[in-house]
Structure 1
């Protein structure tokens, strides 16, 4: 996740960052600019259409559809941000649950070998979940010395959770923890799986294809029809005006596309790797 100063207006306005939508849109913006210039030249210079021509009234359509496209884009960005923020809350919950689990185990357990097992395994769950959601590396490739017998064709976070519960159940069978303590610790392990399932729901359920495709087509057709009406009143100034309108509308869609998938390695994705590293440090302090 990119670190920045929210009060630094100069860098926001005058500096173009790598993650700025301008980098992705400039080829289309160039094409839209050329297209707008050609339409303006045809209408004003070549065809020499009069001010009374009916095509001038196409702006009435833009006025009516402008409100509709605004509502669609607001709903689109809000939905995408909700997914991003829900992912952040889930990983915040994973941090708290890992701390609580380690805190309780630190008080209950007396054997150093038992503490060492959980000191390693609890942070490993967050690390494996990060890898699982990114679909990039396996857990054994991510951390040196991860001595779990993991079948990479199976659900990796579930395998970690299963070994955690197996160890807790073994502690109960050995009389190292009571039945009440078993129930308390079981709830903590269950919370890991609940968080994993909620993250998978975000990861595996994108915005419906028909909705996303419709917005893109709507924006494209809306922008392509703008020069027909505005060329009469703006002349060749229609080029920068239409390009700017396209930049604003398309940028909102691009931003929504990026943040609706919060688990990845993009600049605006959640820092799940950093969060998992913090969990490892915090659990180590408690155990």
Structure 2
């Protein structure tokens, strides 16, 4: 997620250079051929450019609204995970009765919940867990979870098994067990909703149609401006065309919020926040450092 108000022009050009190159080539071609084409024909193309630009603006606006909705939904899903994880840790701290080994069980449940946030993060981004798992899961459990087909779900199953054992041993009454079960269901809902966003892409037919329309508009725009402005059409074509390119870029890169890019929901930051909050609730003082923005203000 971009958390700075100042974005490097070099970075923007790095994101959008393919279509900007197309625009520059079309503009150069317009400069080369406009002296050989009738001025009236070039001016008539302004009507085509106007209609295409208007239609493209509606298409991009609709697509960007839908893309932002997907990005915002991803942020809401992970915000719920953060809130419910804190509630889970508070229940673990206050609702499990005292007894032999309870402190160890509390730590195991809370650490496993923090591990769930990290593992879901890596699962969505198709990465392997790293050093952040150290101290959260013992090596045997981590190896067993990693060997499963769905590691985040395996962690939830282990949480449920531990809570069931506590209930059967009398350390957890029925009401409290139900409350924990509701939270596990909420975590499973977070898991399922994240997978739905990850595996259900924006309709590609719509994306292709808009991309082709944008390329056609970038072809017609320099020619239509050349009929009215001559060589002054070059800077105006680049400015107008680049505005459309940037708007299309925004929608294309925020529609998939879990792709490990700078426009994503900051999963590393949220997972680390969950880990810090939960471990601090256990009374631990040796806490990891919060995730800091990288480079020019990009938070992962």
What is the TM-score with the length of structure 2 in the denominator?
0.85
1:156 matches 2:143: no
Q: Hey, what does 1:39 align to over in structure 2?
A: 30
In the TM superposition, what is the alpha-carbon distance from 1:193 to its structure 2 partner?
Answer: 0.5
From the superposition, tell whether residues 64 and 140 of structure 1 become closer, same or farther in structure 2 (CA, over 3 Å): closer
From the superposition, tell whether residues 281 and 29 of structure 1 become closer, same or farther in structure 2 (CA, over 3 Å): closer
1:59 matches 2:46: yes
From the superposition, tell whether residues 38 and 119 of structure 1 become closer, same or farther in structure 2 (CA, over 3 Å): closer
Whether the 8 Å contact between 2:49 and 2:224 is mirrored in structure 1 is no
Q: Hey, what does 2:16 align to over in structure 1?
A: 25
Whether the 8 Å contact between 1:223 and 1:245 is mirrored in structure 2 is no
From the superposition, tell whether residues 206 and 27 of structure 1 become closer, same or farther in structure 2 (CA, over 3 Å): closer
Q: Hey, what does 2:134 align to over in structure 1?
A: 144
Whether the 8 Å contact between 1:34 and 1:239 is mirrored in structure 2 is no
Single out whichever of 241-250 and 101-110 deviates more from structure 2. Answer: 241-250
- 241, 245, 253: which one pairs with 1:246? 241
Whether the 8 Å contact between 1:119 and 1:283 is mirrored in structure 2 is yes
Single out whichever of 63-72 and 163-172 deviates more from structure 2. Answer: 63-72
Whether the 8 Å contact between 2:52 and 2:213 is mirrored in structure 1 is no
What is the TM-score with the length of structure 1 in the denominator?
0.88
From the superposition, tell whether residues 218 and 233 of structure 1 become closer, same or farther in structure 2 (CA, over 3 Å): same
Name the CA distance, whole Å, in 2 between partners of 1:208 and 1:41.
38
Whether the 8 Å contact between 1:33 and 1:240 is mirrored in structure 2 is no
- 183, 203, 217: which one pairs with 1:188? 183
Name the CA distance, whole Å, in 2 between partners of 1:187 and 1:17.
48
CA RMSD of aligned residues (A): 1.9
In the TM superposition, what is the alpha-carbon distance from 1:141 to its structure 2 partner?
Answer: 6.2
From the superposition, tell whether residues 130 and 27 of structure 1 become closer, same or farther in structure 2 (CA, over 3 Å): closer
In the TM superposition, what is the alpha-carbon distance from 1:282 to its structure 2 partner?
Answer: 1.3
1:230 matches 2:250: no
Partner SS for 1:150:
helix
In the TM superposition, what is the alpha-carbon distance from 1:28 to its structure 2 partner?
Answer: 4.1
Q: Hey, what does 1:261 align to over in structure 2?
A: 256
Q: Hey, what does 1:76 align to over in structure 2?
A: 63
Counting matched residue pairs gives 273
Whether the 8 Å contact between 2:49 and 2:221 is mirrored in structure 1 is yes
Q: Hey, what does 2:200 align to over in structure 1?
A: 205
Partner SS for 2:134:
coil
Name the CA distance, whole Å, in 1 between partners of 2:124 and 2:207.
23
In the TM superposition, what is the alpha-carbon distance from 1:217 to its structure 2 partner?
Answer: 0.3
Q: Hey, what does 1:2 align to over in structure 2?
A: 2
Whether the 8 Å contact between 2:254 and 2:264 is mirrored in structure 1 is yes
Name the CA distance, whole Å, in 2 between partners of 1:30 and 1:186.
55
Q: Hey, what does 1:104 align to over in structure 2?
A: 91
Structure 2, unaligned runs of 5 or more: 283-300
In the TM superposition, what is the alpha-carbon distance from 1:269 to its structure 2 partner?
Answer: 1.5
From the superposition, tell whether residues 35 and 3 of structure 1 become closer, same or farther in structure 2 (CA, over 3 Å): closer
